[in-house]
Copies of this chain bind each other. A is one copy, B any other.
Amino acid sequence: MPVPAHRAAFGARVRELRTERGWSQEGFAHRAELDRTYVSGIERGTRNPTLDIIYRLAQALGVPAADLLTR
């Protein structure tokens, strides 16, 4: 099943912000209190995170949640 464009864009944005901070997926997952494989799935667009998870990711990255949906 192809990855919907908005999930791919969301995942790319999360990856962009994570790598800008020099964090590994493991380090970022720990900060966001999520499983590393879940973060990997989000970045690949294979996961469909909820509003709560979106805010948790944004908080861990130190950005407004809207910033993760700007693509």
User: Which residues of A are in contact with B by a Cβ distance under 8 Å?
Assistant: 4, 6-7, 10, 48-52, 54-55, 64-67, 69-70
Work out how many copies of this chain go into the complex. 2
**Taking A66-B66, A66-B69 as contacts, is the C-beta distance between A6 and B55 under 8 angstroms?**
yes
How many angstroms from the CA of A64 to the CA of B68 in the assembled complex?
Answer: 12
The reply to whether A48 and B51 contact each other, CB–CB distance below 8 Å, is yes
Extra contacts besides A6-B55, A6-B65, A50-B50 (11): CB < 8 Å: A4-B52, A6-B51, A48-B51, A48-B52, A49-B50, A50-B51, A51-B54, A54-B69, A65-B69, A66-B67, A66-B69
How many angstroms from the CA of A64 to the CA of B51 in the assembled complex?
Answer: 16
